[in-house]
Structure 1
Amino acid sequence: MPAPDIYDYAAIRLVPRVERGEFINVGILLSCAARGHLDVRIELDAARALALDPGLDLALVKRLLGAIESICRGGPDAGPIGQLPPRARFHWLTAQRSAIVQTSPVHSGLCDDFDATMAHLLERMVRVPRPR
């Protein structure tokens, strides 16, 4: 059995009012340099977002999150950043910024199944916890 791969991930955060510093996690970026793997999953919970800011422009938020998905996929439609190699796109997407869409610090782990790892991270970091 092959050794697990090192991966890096960051949560994608929606910070509707940057000055307040309140946020909800709306997605996960997952990268594996050794495999050239870069993936994103976004799950925007509009009700939770509007609870932080009832005046939030959800259409704008969806466009911003769509840009992240486009850059993650890469290719000519993703602009100059989308032309970069996957690892460079990951670093660009996880760069610190003060905007309504941000990322958490980057964390690392080991895995041998990227789909299962993504599902686990979404469950732990993005989705509303189920009652125990």
Structure 2
Amino acid sequence: MRAPDVYDYAVIRVVPRVEREEFVNAGVILSCPAARYLRARVELDEARLRALDPAVDLEAVRRHLRALEAICAGGPGSGPIGRLPPRARFHWLTARRSSVLQTSAVHLGRCRDPDAALEHLLARMVRPPRA
């Protein structure tokens, strides 16, 4: 059995009113260089976001989240950042910024299946806890 690969991840946060520093976790970016893997999965809970800011521009937030996913995927239609190597894209996406979309600090883990790790992180960090 092969050893687990190291991966990095960051949680995608939507900060509707940057000055208040309140946010909703909306997705995860996971990079596993050994597996040549870079993906973002988004599951925006719009009701939770509206609770923070009833006037939030949901269409703009959705558009920015789709752009983030496209940059992770790379290839045609992902813009100039999407043409960078995967590791450079991950670092660009997780750079500190003061905007409506932000990411957490970068954390690391080990896995044999990056898709399963991403699903686990979504369940733990993004989806509401189950009773």
TM-score scaled by structure 2? 0.98
Partner of 2:72: 72
CA distance in 2, matches of 1:29, 1:90: 8
Query: Which amino acid in structure 2 is aligned with residue 55 of structure 1?
Result: A
Partner of 1:114: 114
Mapping of 1:39-118 within 5 angstroms?
A: 39-118=39-118
Residue 76 of structure 1 deviates from its aligned partner by 2.6
Where in structure 1 do 4 or more consecutive aligned residues deviate above 2 Å? none
Question: Quick check: 1:36–1:87 contact (8 Å CA) kept in 2?
Answer: no
Pairwise CA distance, 1:115: 1.6
CA contact under 8 A between 1:27 and 1:126: conserved in structure 2?
A: yes
User: Unpaired runs of 5+ in structure 2?
Assistant: none
Unaligned 5+ segments in structure 1 are none
CA RMSD, Structure 1 to Structure 2 (Å): 0.7
Measured against aligned partners, the alpha-carbon deviations of 1:16-75 in whole angstroms (never above 9, x if no partner) come to 000000001000000012222101100011100000000000000000001101101101
Alpha-carbon distance in structure 1 between the residues aligned to 2:71 and 2:30: 13
Corresponding letter in the other structure for 2:93: L
Q: Which segment drifts farther, 7-16 or 67-76?
A: 67-76
Percent identity between the aligned chains?
Answer: 64
CA distance in 1, matches of 2:88, 2:127: 28
Question: Which residue of structure 2 lines up, in the alignment, with residue 23 of structure 1?
Answer: 23
Number of equivalent positions: 131
Give the residue type in structure 1 aligned to 2:13: R
| C-alpha separation in 1, matches of 2:57 and 2:88 | 30
